[in-house]
Amino acid sequence: MSVRNLEKWYYIEMANILWKYLRAGQLTASQVQEALTFLEGYPLWVFSNVPLMREAVNLGIAYNLTAYDGSYVALAKRLDAPLLTLDRKLFEALATSSLAVFWFDDFPIP
């Protein structure tokens, strides 16, 4: 299993998404707990967002992004990696940029 590179807010964002699905009745509490257990055991490299904050803000200014979204873009740039997203607003904001941004479902899996 390969290791994935992530910005450190990833875990809280995933927990928030699961909480929203629970609140909407799309997941049970048991399913949320199971997903959290999976996330805790998945091999991830987590990067500090401190070195990313200045670039995150600059990207936010350039593309009208939140600093949170900008931090993911900054990390992808720093790692020279594509950014995969299911965030329509983020995807559209970067569509005309030179950044390697892909809609998650359209990204070719090697």
Number of C-beta neighbours around residue 71 at 10 A = 24
Considering the domain boundaries, does residue 68 fall inside one?
Answer: no
In the 8-state DSSP scheme, what is residue 104? G
Q: Which domain holds residue 33?
A: 1-47
Considering the domain boundaries, does residue 63 fall inside one?
Answer: no
Domain count, the chain: 1
Considering the domain boundaries, does residue 25 fall inside one?
Answer: yes
**pTM of the prediction?**
0.68
pLDDT digit string (tens) for 63-108? 999 999 999 999 999 999 999 998 999 999 999 999 999 998 887 7
Considering the domain boundaries, does residue 74 fall inside one?
Answer: no
Considering the domain boundaries, does residue 72 fall inside one?
Answer: no
Considering the domain boundaries, does residue 19 fall inside one?
Answer: yes
Considering the domain boundaries, does residue 12 fall inside one?
Answer: yes
pLDDT digit string (tens) for 37-58? 998 888 878 888 888 999 999 9
Considering the domain boundaries, does residue 18 fall inside one?
Answer: yes
Task: Report d(CA 23, CA 36) in Å as an integer.
Answer: 16
Cβ–Cβ under 8 Å, residues 29 and 105: no
